[in-house]
Amino acid sequence: MSLIERDLAVIWHPYTQMKTARPPVPIVKGEGTCLYSEDGKKYIDAISSWWVNIHGHSHPYIAQKVAEQLNKLEHAIFAGFTHPGAVELAERLLAILPANQAKAFYSDNGSTAVEVAIKMCLQYWYNKGEQRTKILAFKNAYHGDTFGAMSVSGRSAFTAAFDSLLFEVEFIDLPSADNIESIKSLISGMRNELSCFIFEPLVQGSAGMIMYEAAHLNELMAHCRQEKVLLIADEVFTGFGRTGKAFASSHVQVQPDIMCFSKGLTGGTMAFGLTTCTREIYNAFLSDDRMKTLFHGHSYTANPVACAAALASLDLFLEPSTQENINRIADNHRAFAAKVTGHRSLKTTRQTGTILALEWETGNNTSYFSSLRDKLYDYFLDAGIILRPLGNIVYILPPYCITNAELDYIYSTIEQALDEI
Ligand SMILES: Cc1ncc(COP(=O)(O)O)c(C=O)c1O
């Protein structure tokens, strides 16, 4: 039996309608920007494997650090115990995050990083004896697939089967010059009930790479701070260079109270999650009363191998050449967007840093289930490029090591698709 046949016999894939999906591509090797299938076909990973891979696949430096760690300590319980990697990673990350971030709480993925953040906020007010249980979030937000993370995400096809079970959230529009004052007064109207505001800073990824301005986010954050609404920046997607700066929060002046990370944290090597918070939040859990403890933890919290991967990824991220590559990708994206703007098949383009989104003209409104999506996906896959459109929105989000030649190949294939599809 082939690997595909064996897969289809036993595996249930994520976000996949198993009845109609095309068979999975069997990948056996990764190197640099590319993934290689069993039959030797090369695929440029233009979406960094669901946005996680920032330094290229099977990076030798990360591999070496992970191997060294595996031979020293593979895992240790993190309640009552610690280890050098967890401490060093927290020290080094807190040093480059907004200055108010003081404590690091580890978990397993982006959704758990968000769950921890929500629980920190709700229990912060509980511990202080204040009844603030409402949460504010953006319409069309995506914060993950666990129940808390789903609750603070926009209601959509993804959540439909569970909507009646999700907790209530106040959803607001993305801020713009036209609506910012009305959003601010809405928030003020709920000022004593709101515990926190969770947001994807600058770019709503899953919603279709929807972008909004840093100045408006900053104003909204400042208003929330004034109304004592805690601020959770979900940087699971935007963290580690995606938006052109180290963190999307680096584009605003107001510092969030809590930040969530995953995806690029280990350079795409290991599942890992991190939630950081201010000393003020941490202090609200310090007490002789054990009921004020944050009762949250996962078996693999602060896994030493994941910490080693994250430390190695951070070493690479802080090399000046990485920022140069980020700038180079952003420049290339800008030039390509300018070139294709006005094409009859294109509704619009938008870009933030290394993220370029191209919205295909459909004549209708955008939908995740647009049939165009499958056509485009297959077209690019056949051309040896992994692009996974969100409905009619094609986005490029490459590992930072991508070459100009690889970018040019992606751009020219997209141009062909614009002419042909
Ligand atoms: C902004 C944001 N938050 C949270 C998540 C959930 O992360 P994970 O898939 O690791 O659970 C995602 C995943 O795409 C995301 O984009």
In this predicted model, what pLDDT tens digit does every residue of 386-400 receive, in sequence order?
999 999 999 999 999
Ligand 1 centroid distance, CA of 94 (Å): 21
By the 8 A CB rule, do 259 and 249 touch?
Answer: yes
pLDDT at 367: 64
Of the chain, the percentage scoring pLDDT greater than 70 comes to: 99
Mention every residue, 6+ apart, whose C-beta is less than 8 A from residue 403: 33
Rounded alpha-carbon distances, angstroms, from residue 319 to 173, 184, 239, 263, 400: 38, 40, 16, 19, 12
263 a catalytic residue: yes
DSSP per-residue codes, 366-378: --TT-HHHHHHHH
Closest residue (by CA) to atom 10 of ligand 1? 110
The DSSP secondary-structure symbol of 32 reads B
Report the range of poorest mean pLDDT among 180-194, 257-271, 370-384. 370-384
Mention every residue, 6+ apart, whose C-beta is less than 8 A from residue 141: 152, 153, 154, 171, 198, 199, 200, 204, 207
Q: What angle do CA 263, 116, 265 make, to 5 degrees?
A: 20
pLDDT at 371: 81
Is the pLDDT reported for residue 325 higher than 70? yes
Rounded alpha-carbon distances, angstroms, from residue 393 to 70, 209, 396: 41, 8, 10
Q: What is the pLDDT of residues 170-223, one digit of tens each?
A: 999 999 999 999 999 999 999 999 999 999 999 999 999 999 999 999 999 999
- Which residue from 237, 245, 153 is spatially nearest to 203, judged by alpha carbons? 237
pTM higher than 0.95: yes
Q: Is 109 in the pocket of ligand 1 (CB under 6 A)?
A: yes
Closest residue (by CA) to atom 3 of ligand 1? 143
pLDDT at 363: 77
Ligand 1 centroid distance, CA of 339 (Å): 32
Average pLDDT over the chain reads 97
- The band of 366, judged by pLDDT with boundaries at 50, 70 and 90, is low
Which residue among the candidates 106, 108, 212, 263 is catalytic per the annotation? 263
Strands 194-199 and 42-45: unpaired
Q: Which atom of ligand 1 is nearest to the CA of 144?
A: 6
**First-to-last CA distance in the chain?**
35
DSSP per-residue codes, 191-212: TTTEEEEEE-SSEETTTTSEE-
- The band of 146, judged by pLDDT with boundaries at 50, 70 and 90, is very high
- Which residue from 54, 49, 52 is spatially nearest to 401, judged by alpha carbons? 54
Say how many C-beta atoms besides its own lie within 10 A of residue 169's C-beta: 18
Q: What is the pLDDT of residues 21-75, one digit of tens each?
A: 999 999 999 999 999 999 999 999 999 999 999 999 999 999 999 999 999 999 9
Phi, psi of 413 (to 5 degrees): -65, -40
pLDDT at 362: 87
415-419, long-range: CB < 8 A, 24+ apart:
415/340, 417/376, 417/379, 417/380, 418/340, 418/343, 418/345, 418/346, 418/360, 419/345
- Which residue from 44, 12, 62, 27 is spatially nearest to 268, judged by alpha carbons? 62
234 a catalytic residue: yes
Closest residue (by CA) to atom 4 of ligand 1? 143
Tell me the CB-side half-sphere exposure of residue 130, using CA atoms within 13 A: 16
Report the range of poorest mean pLDDT among 124-133, 198-207, 357-366. 357-366
Q: What angle do CA 259, 262, 266 make, to 5 degrees?
A: 125
Is the pLDDT reported for residue 89 higher than 70? yes
Is the pLDDT reported for residue 80 higher than 90? yes
- The band of 368, judged by pLDDT with boundaries at 50, 70 and 90, is low
Return left, alpha or beta for 194; rule: phi > 0 is left, psi -120 to 50 is alpha, else beta: beta
Specify the residue for token string 């609200």.
Answer: 284
